[in-house]
Amino acid sequence: MLQETTYPVLNRKRITLLIVIFSFSMLCIAFVVNSPLEVFTGELEIITSPSILITDYMAYANPGAAFFNAGLVTLIGLGLAWIIKARFNGYLLSAIFTLAGFAFFGKNVFNILPIFIGVFLYDRLFNQQPLKDLIAPLLFGTTLGPVVSQVAFGFDLGWWGLIGGIVLGILCGVLLAALMNHIYSFHMGYNLYNTGTTGGFVATVVYITMRGFGLEIKPAFYWATQYTGFLTWFVLGTVLFLIALGLIWGAKFSQYKKLWVESGRLASDFVVITDLGTTLVNMGLVGLIALAYVLLVGGDLNGATLAGIFTVMGFGALGKHPRNILPIMAGVYLSCFTHIWEHAEPGPLLAALFCTTLAPLAGRFGIIAGIIAGALHLPMVMHVGSLHGFMNLYNNGFAGGLAMLLIVGFIKGFKPELLKDDEPS
- pLDDT-based confidence at residue 420 (cuts at 50, 70, 90): low
Q: Where are the domains of the chain?
A: 2-212, 241-416
At 252-261, the pLDDT tens digits run 999 999 999 9
What are residue 269's phi and psi, to 5 degrees? -80, 105
At 180-198, the pLDDT tens digits run 888 888 788 899 999 999 9
The answer, yes or no, to whether residue 356 has pLDDT greater than 60, is yes
- For residue 62, give every residue at least 6 positions away whose Cβ sits within 8 Å of its Cβ, in sequence order, or none: 33, 34, 38, 39, 42
At 66-108, the pLDDT tens digits run 999 999 999 999 999 999 999 999 999 999 999 999 999 999 9
At 287-328, the pLDDT tens digits run 999 999 999 999 999 999 999 999 999 999 999 999 999 999
- pLDDT-based confidence at residue 419 (cuts at 50, 70, 90): confident
The secondary structure of the chain in percent helix, strand, coil, rounded to multiples of 5, reads 75, 0, 25
Contact (CB, 8 A) for 109 and 127? no
| Burial state string for 70-99 with b = 16 or more CB within 10 A and e = fewer than 16 | bbbbbbbbbebbeebebbbbbbbbbbbbbb
Global pTM value: 0.95
Cis bond upstream, residue 367 (ω within 30):
no
- pLDDT-based confidence at residue 382 (cuts at 50, 70, 90): very high
Contact (CB, 8 A) for 87 and 136? no
> How many angstroms separate the Cα of 93 from the Cα of each of 11, 287, 368?
11, 14, 30
- For residue 207, give every residue at least 6 positions away whose Cβ sits within 8 Å of its Cβ, in sequence order, or none: 217, 387, 388, 389, 391
* Mean model confidence pLDDT for the chain: 93
Q: Across residues 387-410, what is the average pLDDT?
A: 91
At 28-61, the pLDDT tens digits run 999 999 999 999 999 999 999 999 999 999 999 9
Cα dihedral 247→248→254→257 (10° resolution): -30
Three-state secondary-structure class, residue 55: strand
